[in-house]
A and B are shown apart, each in its own frame.
Chain A
Amino acid sequence: MTTLDSGAALQHQVPRNRMLNVVRLQFVNTQTFIWVPALVLGGSWVLSMMIFWIIGGAGVTEVKAGGGSQAPLWYFLAIGIQAMTMTFPFSQAMSLTRREFFLGSLAAASVSGLGMSLVFVLLGLFEQATGGYGINGYFAYLDWVWAAGPFAAGLTYLTATLFFFTIGFWFATIFKRFGALGLTTALLALGLALIGFIALVTFQEAWPAVVKWFTDTGALGLTLWAIPVTGLLAAGSYFTLRRMPA
């Protein structure tokens, strides 16, 4: 086995800001990162308002809390998939390392998620101040999420966007690297793990304890749990991407 001597390497500077430029590269997909999520958020808001108005028209005056504000969260799955499949091959033509591409994409998702969270918090504050647009209808201001204040609510929302983004990104990477068979196997393994958990809880007759844990932990507590989980997902994505051919 012959080996090559690497001692003669010239010292060359790495150009700066390559990672930040990946954010700009991702935002070339304005449709993916801005317009579609904005449309999902705006659309679900309009639909929720119409439903509140219909219910209000029927003489119901109690609190009407819709789950519409979670709709854009799911879309971050799609953003994760698209950030991977659309932009990774081009990032390779731009001579980026996989690490630069991954961290830059994560930063781009954070920017998008941060924007969404800001809208979510502002809407919630507005609903809080106006008593649900004067008709007791709440799109963003959900008691359970806002229990620990607007900052915690924003953090929960932001964490959720990144959680879904990394799941989408990882699955897309698995699909691109190992094909449909690989992805299906991964999903089956995940399903198996979930069933194992359900079986464990059921056989231990621990469901009340599990439910109690979720309620006791609350939105902020769950968010604090979700952050390391998202970190693990991100690490998994990165290690899958690391040896991925363009």
Chain B
Amino acid sequence: MNSVIQVRNLTKRYKDALALDGVSFDIEQDAIYGLLGRNGAGKTTAMSILTAQNLPTSGEVRVFGENPYENARVLSRMCFVRESQKYPDDATPRHAFAAARLFFPRWDQGLADELIDDFQLPLKRTIKKLSRGQLSAVGVIIGLASRAEVTFFDEPYLGLDAVARQIFYDRLLADYAEVPRTILLSSHLIDEVSNLIERVLLIDDGRIIMDESADDARALATNVVGDAAAVERVVNGREVIHREGLGRVASVTFLGRLDGAERAAVVADGLELAPVSLQQLIVRLTQHRSAGRPGADGFGSNNSGPDSSGTKSPSTDTSDADTQEGSLR
């Protein structure tokens, strides 16, 4: 394990809101992370602080082992184009790319040219006259062609149609295969990116509530459908995150998996087990929390989720997390 980013007890307080509440996590080198969560959960704030575009209220950030703030050595290896990025008034996409070429040492002009073609981006129109999709394309092209060792994409698909989004996903994967690097992608379109991302960081209300590999995340919950009474017997004592019913039929999603014997019993009862998509899981988890219902604070005891204070590194590899925490304290 080689972490390029380490975050400890990071807190960001705005005048009237706590955007990040003592979060801790590590970002491993050469992996694609999905930074997921609702609007206002703290995704953009986290990315801004990691790239020193914003400053934390308290806590620590290390990128390549150093504090990124006012640190050209670290910053020149990162790229973060905001979702609401502002450009100089007279600037055209051509100017923006020319500037990016000056400042990103691993900039690939060939890749930029191909992407400009792919997105059919008009190069000579001033950026303030571009459509929302074209504006997003400028950011996406800078992010991809910078080939920065750590690249952030903050909801890069806004205004892009389905075809353009697919181009982005395909290009990202292809170039990632060619030049492996660390990518943090924040997104609401969880289903669309779920095949792309290798790890999931779920942030809700300023806290990390999930830090898992995408595969492990998908296995966190199970859905069982069938006769309401039989379903209730199965989920009795389990942490239910979603429940819906239609007459005598119920569909319940709960955290955790069933072992072989349990599965056989469920099937014998005439119930159906269905996988839970990443998007469903995340919607259920974050919906749950924001509704303020009890028992929804992170995960049950069978998962190594964060404790309620959110100060521990919520890594699945507990032994590693322990040693890390030990050395950090």
Contacts and interface: CB of A to CB of B under 8 A. Distances in A.
Interface of A: 1-10, 12-15, 18, 21, 24-25, 28-32, 82, 86-87, 89-90, 92-100, 242-243, 245-246
A245 B328 CA distance: 28
Interface stretch (B95-103, B183-191, B193-201, B234-242): B95-103
B72 A18 contact: yes
B80 A9 contact: no
Given A94-B99, A246-B82, 12 more contacts: A2-B8, A2-B60, A2-B325, A3-B60, A8-B65, A12-B77, A24-B99, A31-B89, A90-B87, A92-B51, A96-B103, A97-B70
Contact of B66 (A9, A13, A82, A99): A9
Given A3-B328, A6-B65, A94-B100, A12 B81 contact: no
A5 to B, nearest CB: 7
14 contacts: A5-B65, A5-B327, A9-B64, A9-B65, A28-B95, A29-B89, A31-B89, A86-B86, A93-B85, A94-B100, A95-B75, A95-B79, A95-B103, A96-B72
Contacts of A8: 65
Contacts, number: 129
Contacts of B104: 94-95
B90 interface: yes
Nearest to B52: A97
**Interface size class for chain B?**
35 or more
A30 B53 contact: no
A3 B324 CA distance: 11
A89 B81 CA distance: 10
B280 interface: no
B51 A95 contact: yes
Most buried by B among A13, A24, A245: A245
Nearest 3 CB-CB pairings of A with B: A9-B65, A246-B53, A89-B86
